[in-house]
């Protein structure tokens, strides 16, 4: 239990309300979510009975001492220590010196000193043997996450890199036995080298059985695909997306997970890479469903997909679609995450007001449609 502060320190309140010292406009953040105050040379972080919890360095807290620059998360929103509302507070360090914590939104990319400091820290950790200890591994992981966030082009990409990608890299293992065996059995109905019919067979099987269940409160938990399969196909949207992506990879395909914000809030879905032209893909999907195509597609006689320099057809495998290649949901921003840890800001599906960065994304990454009429 922390002792009482001897003198009343300067306090900053963090939350979604406009009268907070630091305003964080995110749906998972409460009106008055948390507060921070100086406690000697450390900062006392306190949750203010928020709905979605306050987290410090990955742990849910009620009241804890931290240092400026530690990872702080309010609900699903990561605190940026570079927020202008924090500058007066950070100047009140116990010795009156300005605290310059690592930025979570891009300052490192503009600061040679910070970049040098990170590389020096990594070198010291390696040569000191810290990698063999749990504190050492945590420190190196912290530096890696800080660098990933600081070099992101948007706050949304920084969030995906620091919160979702570490979980995604573990989950998208194509050799995990439960995932591999299940995917092979489904794909074998359309035997041969990797093809879009195998993707359709997997999507149809998983989508027909999936039951929606929320994450633990206040956490973005990405279930391992084997967990979702063993739970008889249950979980939330990112679990569905990750399960599909892992199964596609398990049969020799490429897949990515797209995180986005739409008119109904945050969402995630998978896209599978099919290395054929869009016309061929549309024809094969329509033939796969045959007479049932119109019923499954609900009379939307087209497929929806993205293109990139590395893949002609990134086929939409959204939970909300009725078929592989079904329509995209309206998006404000969209960030694709790959199994190797790469991320990419995408042009968005129409129907919502996009962010400024999403408007500047390469138009080649915007969703497209191709008619499937008379392709059966």
d(C-alpha 306, C-alpha 367), whole Å: 5
Cα-Cα-Cα-Cα dihedral sign, residues 265, 223, 57, 158: negative
d(C-alpha 331, C-alpha 260), whole Å: 6
Q: Would you state the pLDDT for residue 92?
A: 73
Q: Per-residue pLDDT tens for 44-57?
A: 999 998 888 899 88
**Where does the pLDDT of residue 221 fall: very low under 50, low under 70, confident under 90, or very high at 90 and above?**
confident
Nearest 5°: phi and psi at 148?
-60, -45
What does DSSP assign to residue 154?
A: S
Contact between residue 186 and residue 205 where contact means Cβ atoms under 8 Å apart: yes
Contact between residue 347 and residue 356 where contact means Cβ atoms under 8 Å apart: no
- Residue 21 half-sphere exposure, CB side, CA atoms within 13 Å? 17
Beta strands per DSSP E along 181-220: 211-212
d(C-alpha 7, C-alpha 40), whole Å: 10
* Ordered DSSP codes for 235-269: E-HHHHHHHHHHHHHHTT-EEEEEEEEETTEEEEE
Residue partners of 292: CB distance under 8 A and separation at least 6:
none
Residue with tokens 């966030």: 149
Q: How far apart are the first and last CA of the chain?
A: 69
DSSP H or E segment with residue 146? helix 134-150
Nearest 5°: phi and psi at 258?
-105, 125
Q: Per-residue pLDDT tens for 240-249?
A: 999 999 999 9
Q: Would you state the pLDDT for residue 103?
A: 40
Answer yes or no: is pLDDT of 137 > 80: no
Answer yes or no: is pLDDT of 34 > 90: yes
Least confident of 55-69, 133-147, 182-196, 318-332: 133-147
d(C-alpha 63, C-alpha 7), whole Å: 18
Q: Per-residue pLDDT tens for 57-115?
A: 888 899 999 988 888 999 888 888 888 888 888 877 644 433 334 343 344 444 454 55
Contact between residue 249 and residue 260 where contact means Cβ atoms under 8 Å apart: no
């Amino acid at each position: 239990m922390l002792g009482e502060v001897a003198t009343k320190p300067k306090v900053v309140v963090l939350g979604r309300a406009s009268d907070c010292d630091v305003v964080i406009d995110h749906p998972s953040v409460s009106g008055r979510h948390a507060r921070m105050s100086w406690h000697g040379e450390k900062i006392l972080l306190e949750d203010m009975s928020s709905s979605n919890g306050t987290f410090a360095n990955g742990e849910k807290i009620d009241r804890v001492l931290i240092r400026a620059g530690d990872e702080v998360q309010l609900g699903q929103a990561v605190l940026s220590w570079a927020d202008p509302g924090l500058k007066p507070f950070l100047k009140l360090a116990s010795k009156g010196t300005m605290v310059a914590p690592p930025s979570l939104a891009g300052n490192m990319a503009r600061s040679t000193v910070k970049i040098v400091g990170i590389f020096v820290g990594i070198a010291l950790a390696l040569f000191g043997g810290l990698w063999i200890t749990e504190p050492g591994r945590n420190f190196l992981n912290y530096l890696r996450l800080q660098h990933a966030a600081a070099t992101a082009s948007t706050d949304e990409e920084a969030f995906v890199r620091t919160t979702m990608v570490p979980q995604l890299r573990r989950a998208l293992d194509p050799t995990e036995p439960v995932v591999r065996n299940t995917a092979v059995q489904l794909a074998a109905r359309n035997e041969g080298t990797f093809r879009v019919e195998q993707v359709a067979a997997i999507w149809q099987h998983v989508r027909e059985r999936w039951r929606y269940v929320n994450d633990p409160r206040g956490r973005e938990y990405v279930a391992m695909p084997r967990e979702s399969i063993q739970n008889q196909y249950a979980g939330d949207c990112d679990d569905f997306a990750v399960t599909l992506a892992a199964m596609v990879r398990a049969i020799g395909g490429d897949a990515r997970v797209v995180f986005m914000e739409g008119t109904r809030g945050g969402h995630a879905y998978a896209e599978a890479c099919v290395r054929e032209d869009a016309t061929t893909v549309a024809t094969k999907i329509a033939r796969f469903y045959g007479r049932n195509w119109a019923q499954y597609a609900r009379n939307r006689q087209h497929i929806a997909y993205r293109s990139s320099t590395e893949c002609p057809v990134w086929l939409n495998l959204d939970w909300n679609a009725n078929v592989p290649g079904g329509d995209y949901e309206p998006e404000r921003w969209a960030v694709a995450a790959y199994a190797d840890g790469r991320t990419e800001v995408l042009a968005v599906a129409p129907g919502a007001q996009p962010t400024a960065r999403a408007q500047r994304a390469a138009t080649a990454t915007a969703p497209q449609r191709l008619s499937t009429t008379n392709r059966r």
